[in-house]
Amino acid sequence: MSAQAATPDYSQGAAYVGGQYVPIAEARIPITDWGFLRSDATYDVVTVWDGAFFRLDAHLERFMASCARFRLDPGLPPAGIAEVLAQCVRLSGLRAAYVEMIVTRGQPPWGSRDPRQAVNQFHAFAVPYVWIANEAQRARGLHLAVSSVQRIPSTSVDARAKNYHWNDLTMGLLGALDGGADTVVLSDGAGHVVEGPGFNLFCVNAQGTLVTPAEGVLEGITRRTVIEMAAALGLPLQVRALPAAELRGAREVFLSSSGGGVLPVTWVDGAPVGDGAVGPVTRQLVDTYWAWHRDPRLATPVDYGPDAGFE
């Protein structure tokens, strides 16, 4: 008598690879996929909070735009991608999740260097919600370093299309961590700050105006949410080049990321921002960001099925 197959354990997350759903620990892509060999891929991350996707439509729209920019085909329409993402969440049972969609170039025939001959591959996964700052860092504020490492210019790799070309970010981050900071923001080579590993940057400058970099950055969905919140709250905001000197002299600084929303920064390059405490504008935006998760216009509930039960 053959042994009964074990029930897959999706409790740590679920993935969709090769057209099949598997536990996250079993998710694999071929080593010869150009997504691995050449970072030839695009992706997007949407979060689930209290059992609902936040701004799913906006993430799908950006993902499809990134695919078009890099000439990658996910092989599914947005509605089909949304269903795969929902199934990954459904299988895992996660009520707070970090959900990623990916298209890799795939592999062209052996010996070919023509990317048009590759069969693109769509993958997805859902894992427990990811914070890019821990609880203590969120309470006291992050220490940010301004790196001399220049961000890859958009004339080479379009920053508006989400990509895995992170070596510049990684080297900048290593330098910041070695120097005792928590994270890093890179420059554009002309004295302006742009973005960091997985986040956009905002400051409340000395004049009391919110400023966020305009060029050389991913147009983050959380960044977009902060811009919209500022408008709703009547906060003055400018989207323009942000000199490093202006950042260092700011009253408040914060990051925006799907991995935590609005994240305060209280030290820049070893000096306190303002009085060194999380500022009132940052706190207002943190509270508003999480309140907006309850707005039915921005939330897409996950159908966990009739057997789902949550305490």
Residue 102 sits in a domain whose CATH number is 3.30.470.10
Q: What is the pLDDT of residue 3?
A: 54
Question: Distance between CA 44 and CA 35 in Å, rounded?
Answer: 14
Using the structure block, give the residue that is written with the tokens 């920053």: 159
The CATH number covering residue 192 comes to: 3.20.10.10
Q: Is residue 310 part of a domain?
A: no
Run of H or E including 134? none
Digit-by-digit pLDDT tens for the chain (311 residues) are 455 668 899 999 999 999 999 999 999 999 999 999 999 999 999 999 999 999 999 999 999 999 999 999 999 999 999 999 999 999 999 999 999 999 999 999 999 999 999 999 999 999 999 999 999 999 999 999 999 999 999 999 999 999 999 999 999 999 999 999 999 999 999 999 999 999 999 999 999 999 999 999 999 999 999 999 999 999 999 999 999 999 999 999 999 999 999 999 999 999 999 999 999 999 999 999 999 999 999 999 999 987 554 43
Q: Is residue 307 part of a domain?
A: no
Domain co-membership, 167 together with 282: yes
Q: What is the pLDDT of residue 6?
A: 80
Residue numbers of the domain that contains 198: 135-292
Domain co-membership, 177 together with 50: no
Q: Is residue 244 part of a domain?
A: yes
> Which pTM does this prediction carry?
0.94
Domain co-membership, 227 together with 95: no
Contact 14, 21 (CB under 8 A): yes
Q: Is residue 7 part of a domain?
A: no
Contact 149, 186 (CB under 8 A): yes
DSSP state, 155? T
Q: Is residue 238 part of a domain?
A: yes
For residues 99, 60, 79 and 232, what is the CA-based torsion angle, rounded to 10 degrees? 100
In the chain, how many domains are there? 2
Domain co-membership, 257 together with 193: yes
Using the structure block, give the residue that is written with the tokens 């159908």: 303
Domain co-membership, 33 together with 117: yes
Where is the domain boundary, 128, 145, 166?
128
Domain co-membership, 122 together with 39: yes
Where is the domain boundary, 128, 152, 178?
128
Domain co-membership, 287 together with 139: yes
Q: How far apart are the first and last CA of the chain?
A: 39
Domain co-membership, 83 together with 110: yes
Contact 30, 148 (CB under 8 A): no
Domain co-membership, 87 together with 155: no
Q: Is residue 203 part of a domain?
A: yes
Q: Is residue 113 part of a domain?
A: yes
What ranges make up the beta strands (E) of the chain?
A: 14-17, 20-23, 41-49, 52-54, 97-104, 121-128, 142-150, 183-187, 192-193, 200-204, 210-212, 237-239, 242-243, 252-257, 261-268, 271-272, 299-301
Q: What is the pLDDT of residue 306?
A: 74
Domain co-membership, 92 together with 213: no
Domain co-membership, 159 together with 82: no
